[in-house]
């Protein structure tokens, strides 16, 4: 039973690494491009990432870090995580009873996730109090907030359609986490194959229209979030331009 507890805790934390590989490909490419444009001074305490193998191993560390996002670790706490990881990888005997600590691990994660949800809720409330006073703002029945920016004069997409859009996604503090405009290429998406907030908003727009939409967490990524950029319970803001219906 104790071994099963340990295995369950490890699986819950580290198996999501595999799913993150594909989802981070674009972000990794963008970051690499930006890095090559900047003049870099090597910190003597940091490892050199010039070789392909070193970059691959660094990527492994990045992916593992994203499974730990819910813990909101401090620099001091990271020292203990690093020690545990090092001991495990090098085959050293554990310094604590892993089975005995498994319950505490889950309790810590739950408590910190709850604190993150509360912070996101408070930030959203302050943001919504401001945005709902802006001109021409409408709240749909499901809670999506829609603010038309530019009118459209074309057709309205149906759930069965695919659409071509330019968009920018941001947190309520203005941090942009995704943008087709920055990539310089519109996205083609199925109306019913995106987050529910988008599905609702797109069916309120005509081709040629541009709107700002505010997505409550339950119609976006919910309490799970999309780490590392989108925290659990985050309210999201999108600027969407409906370019065409793709049939």
Q: Which of 71, 145, 221, 245 is catalytic?
A: 221
Is 177 catalytic? The answer is yes
Q: Which of 167, 213, 240, 245 is catalytic?
A: 167
Strand partners, 122: none
Cα–Cα dist 199/204, whole Å: 9
Is 167 catalytic? The answer is yes
Q: Which of 178, 213, 230, 239 is catalytic?
A: 178
- CA atoms within 13 Å, Cβ hemisphere of 203: 14
Task: Print the SS3 string covering 11-73.
Answer: HHHHCHHHHHHHHCHHHHHHHHHHHHHCCCCCCCCCCCCCCHHHHHHHHHHHHHHHHCHHHCC
Is 173 catalytic? The answer is no
Q: Which among 186, 192, 196 has a CA at the least distance from the CA of 240?
A: 186
Q: Which of 238, 239, 240, 245 is catalytic?
A: 238
Is 240 catalytic? The answer is no
Cα–Cα dist 157/190, whole Å: 10
Q: Which of 64, 127, 161, 177 is catalytic?
A: 177
Is 80 catalytic? The answer is no
Backbone angles phi, psi at 169, to 5 degrees: -110, 135
Q: Which of 64, 127, 161, 195 is catalytic?
A: 195
Is 195 catalytic? The answer is yes
Chain Cα centroid distance, residue 53: 27
Cα–Cα dist 124/72, whole Å: 19
Burial of 236 (0-12, 13-18, 19+ CB in 10 A): buried
Residues belonging to the active site: 167, 177-178, 195, 221, 238
């Amino acid at each position: 039973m104790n071994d099963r507890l340990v295995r369950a805790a490890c699986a819950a934390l580290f198996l999501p690494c595999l799913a993150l590989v594909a989802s981070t490909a674009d972000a990794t490419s963008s970051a690499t491009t930006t890095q090559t444009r900047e003049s870099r001074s090597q910190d003597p305490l940091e490892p050199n990432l010039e070789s392909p193998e070193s970059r691959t191993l660094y990527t492994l560390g990045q992916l593992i870090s994203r499974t730990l996002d819910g813990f909101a670790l401090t620099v001091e706490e990271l020292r203990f995580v690093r020690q545990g990881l090092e001991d495990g990888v090098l085959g050293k005997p554990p310094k604590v009873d892993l089975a005995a600590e498994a319950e505490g691990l889950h309790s810590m994660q739950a408590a910190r996730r709850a604190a993150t949800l509360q912070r996101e809720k408070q930030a959203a409330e302050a943001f919504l109090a401001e945005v709902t006073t802006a001109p021409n703002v409408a709240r749909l029945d499901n809670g999506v907030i829609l603010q038309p920016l530019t009118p459209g004069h074309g057709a309205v997409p149906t759930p069965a359609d695919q659409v071509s859009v330019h968009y920018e996604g941001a947190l309520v503090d203005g941090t942009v986490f995704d943008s087709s405009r920055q990539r310089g290429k519109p996205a083609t998406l199925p109306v019913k194959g995106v987050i529910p907030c988008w599905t609702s908003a797109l069916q309120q727009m005509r081709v040629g229209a541009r709107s700002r939409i505010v997505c409550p967490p339950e119609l976006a990524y919910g309490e799970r979030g999309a780490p590392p950029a989108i925290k659990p319970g985050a309210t999201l803001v999108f600027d969407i331009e409906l370019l065409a219906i793709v049939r």
